Structure 1
Amino acid sequence: MDNERTKELNILELKTGPDQNGKGDNMSKKKPKTNKKKRVTGAKVFASFISFAAVAFIAGVVVVSLFIVSTIAQTPPISADDFIQNDSTIVLDASGNVIYDLGEKLIETVEYEDISQSLIDAFVSIEDSRFFEHNGFDLPRFTSAMLKNVMVTLQTMNLSFDGGGASTIDMQLVRNALLTEENVETGEVELPASSGLDGIRRKIKEIYYATLLNNECIFDKKAIFQKYVNEIWFGSGNNTLGVEKAAMYYFDKSVSDLTLVESAFLAGVVNAPNLYSPYKSLTLATERTHTVLYYMNYHGYIDDYEYEQALKIPLENLFVQQSLTSEDAMPNQAHIDVVLDEVEALTGLNPATTPMIIQTAMNTELQSQLDLVQNREIANLDIRQVGNSPIQIAATVVENSTGEIIGIVGGYDYYGQRVFNRSYHGLYQPGSTAKPFISYAPAFEFLGYATSHTFLDGPYVWQGTNIQLNNWDNRYRGQVTLREAISQSYNIPAVLTYDAVNDKIGHSRYVDYVESIGFVSYANNLNAWFEAIDDSRQGNGRDALSAQFAIGGSDFYTITKELAGATAMIMNGGDYVTPHTIREVTIVNTGQVIESPYKATPVLSEAAAYLTAKTMRDVVDDNRGIDATRYVSKSYTTYAKTGTSNWSSDDSATYGVPSGSAKIDFYSPVLTK
C-alpha cells in the first residue's frame, strides 16, 4: 500500500516537479500566462494607436499652423486704397497694335443706400446668409464646403481647396481685388488657384484679408456689399460691370427700383452669367431665379405667400428687348469679346478689375473684312438678300499650324459688346460636317480602312428603335466606296463606320477620342442641364455619345471654334491644339507674363490624318461647280466638308417651318497656298 502510494507521489512529482531547467511547473501555469499576455498585448496595441493618433494630430496641427503663419507672413498689408483701380486692360493684335482699352467707364457706381432692399436680401440669401453677422469668415459654411472638398479630393486624387460655397461676400471681394498682389519672395503674382497647395494658400489669404476688412474697420459691411455688387459681372452687354449697369441692361430701370423677382434674377445670374442669361437660356435663367427665391423664403426674407406669388411671374415678361443698331458696332468687337472670355478662363482674373496687357493673334486686316460680313456690308454675303431670310452666321478662322484664332464672325448684326457671340456661345448640331472627324478618321486609325473601303448603302434601323435612317435624298446606292460616301455625304456608311469603330475600341475609348479632338461642348451643355433639373446623370454628359453623332445629330451640339480645331488637327498631321486667341498676358501690377498653355498633342497618326484630309479634298474635287464649293477660290488647294441640320416634323409644328428644310448649314473649309 505504501509502495503504491509512493509511486503515485513520484508520478505526481514527475508531473508537477521542476522541469529540466529547474523552473517549476510549465504545464499548470502556461494557460493563465498565455491569456494574460494576450490581454496585455491588445491593450498595448490600442494604447499605442491612441498615442500615435494623438501625436499625429498634434503634429498635423503644428504643421498646418506653421503653414498658415508662413502664408500670412508673406502676405502684404492692405488698406482701402488697394481696392481702387487706376490702370486698365489693353488688348493688342498680332502685330502689337492696341485694338482695345478697357477703361473705368465700364462701371457705374451705386451707393448702398440706393440699392433696393430686395436685392440685398437676395444676394445675402444665396451667396452668404450670415454676411451681416460674421467677421468675413463663416466657420459653419466653410466646414460644410471643406467636407465636400474632401470628397472631391478622394474622387479625383487631386488636392482640392476650391471651397465651393465656402467663400463669403467679403472673401469674394478680396479675391477679385487683391489676389494679384506680388509675392515678396518670388516677385510673381499670386493667381487664384483652386487646388493643391496654391489653392490652400489662396484660401488662407482670402480668409485673412476678409477678416482684416472687418476687424480693422477698413470697410464696414455696407461698404463691402456696395463694392462687391459694383464690381462683378452680371452677363450684361457692352463689357459693363456692376449692378446698376446690369439693372439697366436687363430691366431698363435703376437698381433702386428693382422688384423682388428682378432682384432674385440678378443675385442668381452672377454665379454663371453665360449660362443663366435669359438671352441664352430662359429655362436655366428661370430655374436659377427660383432657386434664389427658395433661399429667400428659407432664410425668412419673404413669407410663403410672397414666395408662391413670385414663382407665378413669367420671367420673360420682365426683360427688355435688346435693340442695338449698327451705330453700336465697334471694330474687332466679336474677336475682342472672345479674348476677354478666354483671358478670364486662363488667369482666373477679371480683366476689367485687374489691369493686363493681352497679346492676341488677331489678324487685323482679316478681322476688318469679317466685320464687314457680320455688319451686312458685303451684299452677296448678306443672306437677307435671299428671300429676306432670318438665317444667322458665325465663323472661326484658325491658323492650322499654331491653333491661333486669327478672325471671328460673331453673327450678323453684332452690335454692342459682350453680346451673344455665335462663334463662341452658339451651340448647333454640325450635321454631316462631323463625319470626317467622328467616323472616318478613327476608322483609318483603329480599323485600318482605306479610301477604297466599300460599304453596303442600304436600309438601316437605329439600334433599339424601329426608326429607319435615310440618306439626304432618301435613296440607297448599294456598294459604295468610302471616298464616294464622304464626297456625296451619305449617312448610312458614316453610321456603319461609327458602329464598327465602337465595336473595336469600346464606347469609353471612343468618348476619349472625341474629347481629345476638342468636342466637349455637348457634354458641358448636357451637364449644365442635368444640374439645373437635378437629374441623376449629373456629370455624365459625355456618355451621350452615340451613333447619331456620326451624322452630327442627337445631343451633338458644338460651336464653330471646335469644328475649326478638329479641322486644324487633320491638317496638322493628327496633332491637336486647342483653338485660342491669346498668345500671352502680362499682369500690369507685377509684370508677370502668363503664356498661352496650349501645345500640340498627338491624337491621330499622321497616316490617318492624311487619309482624312484626302477625303476632305475629294469633297471639293468631286463637287466643283455645285453647292457651297462654288464659292471656294480655285487658285488654292482646298479641303472642306459641308453639313446640314434639318427641322424635324415636331419642329415644323412648333415653329411653322417646312418639315425637312435646312435649319443649320455648316461649312468647314481649309485654304492652303
Structure 2
Amino acid sequence: MANENQWSRVNRNRNMYDNHPATEPPRIPKSNGNGGPKKPRKKRHWVLAIFLWLVVLGIIGGLAGTAVFVTYANDAPNITQANLASETSSSIYDNQENAIWKLSTVDRDYANSNEIPKQLKQAVVATEDRRFYKHNGVDPIRIAGALLANIRGSSLGMQGGSTLTQQLVKLSVFSTSTADQTIKRKAQEAVLAMRVEKNFSKDEILTFYMNKVYMGHGVSGMKTASEYFYGKPLTQLSLAQLALLAGMPQSPTNYDPYLKDTSRATERRNTVLSAMVKYGAITQNQATAATKTSVTDGLQDLTTKAKLANNNRQVTDAYVKSTIAEAKALGYDTTKSGLKIYTNMDSTMQQYMYDTANGNSVAFPSEDAQIGATMTDPSNGKVVAQIGSRNNQILQATNHATLTGRSAGSSIKPLLDYGPAIEYLNWPTYRTVEDKKYKYPGTNIDVYNWDRKDMGNITMRSALTQSRNIPAARTLEEVGGASAGKFVNSLGVPTNHIPGGQDAINLDASTEQEAGAYGAIANGGTYYKPSYITKIVTADGTTHNYNTTGKRAMKTSTAFMLTDMMKGVIKPNATASDAIIPGLHQAGKSGLVAYGDNENMPDQAIKDAWFTGFTKAYALSVWTGYDWPAKNYIPWTYQDLPAQYYQRVMSYAMQNKPNTDWTAPDTVTPKVRGNIVEYEVKGEKWSNGGLPLVNSLPQSGETPAEAGISGSAAVGATTGNN
C-alpha cells in the first residue's frame, strides 16, 4: 500500500505539470510540512498598504488644511452690526480726500423686518439658500452639491457653495474684486459667517442681506429698488414683482427689466417662482398665474430719476468717468459697495476749468459748441483736472477729453514729425526744410499750407512756429513712418498703422493723450501715462496704492529743443498769441483741422481746433468742436478759442507755482543764427535738405562742419530731400 500511495502522489504531481504550457519549465510544489504541496500565499497585502498610506496622507492633509484654516481665520477682519446693517456706498475722493462722488444714483432706504413681505423672504431663501434655517452659516451639503455641479459643468459653479450668510459677509467686509476671491478669503468668509450666525438671528441675517444686495441702476437694497422701480413699498408689490426682485441680485445687469430684451429677466423671475413652489411657499396655480404677467408690469419711467443727486456732479462728471474706467481696468467692480477711490483731482482747479468752460470769460460760437480739456502734472502724469463737455444739462454726456477719433491737426507735429527728426536724425533747430509745392508720397494729392502759400527754404523752427504743413509732411517722409510711429507711440499716442502721408498733420489723438505726451516734453523726456487714481481702499480696509512709473521716451536734448522751438508759438503775431501770459515761461502748439473740398462747408470753416501748452508745473491740452461737425463748424474768427481757454486756466493755475525756465542740457550746443539762439545736438552729424539759408551759411572763421551744415548742403548742390 505504501508503494501505491507513493506512485499515486507522483501521478497526481505529473498531472499538475501537464497543465502548464510546454514552454514553461516544471515547478515542484513546496511541501506544506505534511508531505503535500504548500498552498499559495494570498497577495493582498498591497491593498492594505495603499489604504494605510491613504489614511496617513489624509490625516496629514487634514492637519495641514486645519492649520492653514486656523491661520487664515486668525487674520479675519472684525465684523460688526454696522458693517452688516449699512450699505457702504463706494465713493470717490479728490486729492485732499474730500468726497466728490458717490457711486449710487439714489439714497438707500433701509427696510426693517416688518416692512419685508413674508413671500419675499421665502422667495430669497427658496432661490439662494434653501437650507438657510438648518445650517450655522456654512453648509457642507450645499458645498458638496456645488462641487458636484461644478464637475458636471452646471452653471451653478463654485458660487453655489456660499450660503446667504456667507454672501452677506462678502458684501459687508470683503472686496468684490475677482482677484481677491482666494482660498484665504473663502476661509475667512466661512469663519465670519459662523460668527454672524452665533450673534444674530436668522431673521436679522436675512434682513441685513436684503438691504445690502445690489439691484442695478445704482440702487442697493430691495426696499429702495421697490420704490425706485415701482414707486411703491414692498408690501404693495405683486407676487410676480416680488419674485423679480428676489432673483435680481445674482446678476442685476442681465436680469434688468428695463433692458430692451427682457427674456433673461423673465426667465429668472420664473425660476424664482418655481423654487417657491418646491419650497412650499406658494402653490403651482399661483406660480402659473404670476408667470403670465409681463416682467415690465408696473415699472416706472426712469428718465427723470436718472438725474444724479450731488450738486457738483456736472463739475466732476468727466473726471469721474475717467476714474471709473481706470478702476475697472485695475480689476475693480465699481457697481459694488465698499470701495473708497482716492484720486489726483484738484477740486479747486476742476471747478475753475468748469466755470471757464461754462461762463462768460471765453466766448464760444454757440451753445452747442463743445470742449474737452485735460490738465496733468508733467513730473508724474497725475491728472489734475479734466473737463469733458460744456452746458452739460444731461449728465453722463460724452467725455470729449478722452474721446479719440478726431484729428489733432498741427498739434501733432512736434510728436510725429519734428520730435523724431531731432531724436533720430539729430536735426538742429535751424535745419533747413523746404516749404515748396509737394504731393504726399505715392499720391497725386497736393499738400497745402493754411494760407495756400509757400515760403521756400525755412528753418525747422520757423516751420513749427508758423505751422507750415508742407515742411511737416516732408519731415515725416524723411524721418520714415516706422521711426515716427515708434516715437509717437512711446508718448502714449497709439497708431494702428505705420504713419505716413497725411498723418503728418492729421493723426487722431485725445486731450488726455496730448497732455501726457507734451508733459514728457516738459519734464525732459520721461513719459508718464496719465493717471487718476492714487489709492483704493476696499471694504475690508485693505489699501492698494497706485503710482505710475515713468519711461524714457526721448533724449533730454530732444525735449529741450522741442520746448525751445514751441516757445515761439506763444509770441505776438504767432499762431497762438492768444495764449500769451506775460512773463510766464511756457511753450505749446496749436492745431486747426479744415474741411475737405467735398464736405460742402464755407471757406475757412474749422472742424476741430486745438491748443496744447505747458509749463514745468502743468500740461494742458484743449480741444473745441461740435459733436456733429457735418452740421456745424467753428468760424475762422473763433480759431483761437482753445488758446484763449488755455490762457485763462493756466494763468489761474500758475498763481502759486514757481515760474522756472528750462535749462539746456549739456548735450546741446547753442548757435546764434540771425539774432536767434538756435540749438544743435552736441557732436552729432546731420544731413541738411534743401538749399541752405543765408543765416545758415558758415559765419566768419567757421568751417561748414562747425556751422552744423553737412552733406550736400555744405556745398549748396541740391534742392531736394535727402
Distance change (3 Å), C-alpha of 1:355 and 1:321:
closer
Counterpart secondary structure, 2:370? coil
* Contact preservation (8 Å) 2:433, 2:457: yes
1:362 aligns with 2:313: no
Deviation readout 1:604-638 (Å, 9 max, x if unpaired): 322232233345334434x8455x54244343233
* Contact preservation (8 Å) 1:335, 1:407: no
1:177 aligns with 2:172: yes
Q: If each structure's helix is expressed as a fraction of its own residues, which one has the higher value? A: 1
Tell me how far apart the structure 1 counterparts of residues 111 and 404 of structure 2 sit (CA, whole Å).
36
Counterpart secondary structure, 1:458? coil
Q: CA deviation at 1:71?
A: 1.7
Distance change (3 Å), C-alpha of 1:243 and 1:88:
closer
Q: CA deviation at 1:136?
A: 7.9
| One of 461, 482, 489 as aligned partner of 1:503 | 482
Distance change (3 Å), C-alpha of 1:594 and 1:114:
same
Counterpart secondary structure, 1:637? coil
In structure 2, what is the equivalent of residue 617 of structure 1? 567
Counterpart secondary structure, 1:429? coil
Greater gyration radius: 2
In structure 1, what is the equivalent of residue 184 of structure 2? 201
Q: CA deviation at 1:178?
A: 0.5
Give matches, 1:209-608, under 5 Å. Answer: 223=207, 226-229=210-213, 232=214, 234=216, 236=218, 320=303, 328-329=311-312, 333-334=316-317, 337=320, 341=324, 348=332, 353-354=337-338, 358=342, 362=346, 364=348, 366-374=349-357, 376=358, 378-383=359-364, 386=365, 388-414=366-392, 419-420=396-397, 422=399, 426-427=403-404, 429-432=406-409, 433-438=411-416, 440-446=418-424, 448-451=426-429, 452=431, 454=433, 457-460=438-441, 482-483=460-461, 484=463, 487-488=466-467, 490=469, 493=472, 497=476, 502-503=481-482, 510=486, 514=489, 517-519=491-493, 544-545=496-497, 547=499, 550=503, 558=510, 560-581=511-532, 595-608=545-558
Counterpart secondary structure, 1:393? strand
Distance change (3 Å), C-alpha of 1:490 and 1:270:
farther
Q: CA deviation at 1:130?
A: 6.3
* Contact preservation (8 Å) 1:393, 1:409: yes
Percent identity over paired residues: 15
Deviation readout 1:103-137 (Å, 9 max, x if unpaired): 998323468999999x99x999xxx9967689889
Q: Normalized against structure 2, the TM-score is what?
A: 0.52
In structure 1, what is the equivalent of residue 75 of structure 2? 74
Q: CA deviation at 1:362?
A: 1.4
Tell me how far apart the structure 2 counterparts of residues 658 and 268 of structure 1 sit (CA, whole Å).
56
Tell me how far apart the structure 2 counterparts of residues 661 and 169 of structure 1 sit (CA, whole Å).
63
Uncovered stretches (5+) of structure 2, i.e. residues with no partner: 1-51, 275-286, 617-658, 660-722
Distance change (3 Å), C-alpha of 1:132 and 1:588:
closer
Counterpart secondary structure, 2:512? helix
* Contact preservation (8 Å) 2:367, 2:391: no
Deviation readout 1:60-97 (Å, 9 max, x if unpaired): 88766654443234325646543134998998766x58
Tell me how far apart the structure 2 counterparts of residues 245 and 443 of structure 1 sit (CA, whole Å).
61
Counterpart secondary structure, 1:669? strand
Tell me how far apart the structure 2 counterparts of residues 603 and 370 of structure 1 sit (CA, whole Å).
29
CA-based RMSD:
6.8
Q: Normalized against structure 1, the TM-score is what?
A: 0.55
* Contact preservation (8 Å) 1:619, 1:640: yes
Amino acid in the other structure paired with 2:467:
Q
Tell me how far apart the structure 2 counterparts of residues 448 and 667 of structure 1 sit (CA, whole Å).
27
* Contact preservation (8 Å) 2:440, 2:473: no
* Contact preservation (8 Å) 2:84, 2:208: no
Number of aligned positions between the proteins: 533
Tell me how far apart the structure 2 counterparts of residues 476 and 145 of structure 1 sit (CA, whole Å).
73
Uncovered stretches (5+) of structure 1, i.e. residues with no partner: 1-50, 149-162, 180-190, 279-284, 521-542
Distance change (3 Å), C-alpha of 1:219 and 1:101:
farther
Tell me how far apart the structure 1 counterparts of residues 341 and 585 of structure 2 sit (CA, whole Å).
37
Amino acid in the other structure paired with 1:636:
L
Q: CA deviation at 1:571?
A: 0.7
Tell me how far apart the structure 2 counterparts of residues 500 and 210 of structure 1 sit (CA, whole Å).
65
* Contact preservation (8 Å) 2:127, 2:247: no
Amino acid in the other structure paired with 2:476:
T
Tell me how far apart the structure 2 counterparts of residues 266 and 60 of structure 1 sit (CA, whole Å).
40
Amino acid in the other structure paired with 1:575:
T
Q: CA deviation at 1:358?
A: 4.9
Q: CA deviation at 1:390?
A: 0.6
Tell me how far apart the structure 2 counterparts of residues 225 and 547 of structure 1 sit (CA, whole Å).
56
Q: CA deviation at 1:562?
A: 3.3
Tell me how far apart the structure 2 counterparts of residues 211 and 550 of structure 1 sit (CA, whole Å).
64
1:83 aligns with 2:84: yes
Q: CA deviation at 1:268?
A: 10
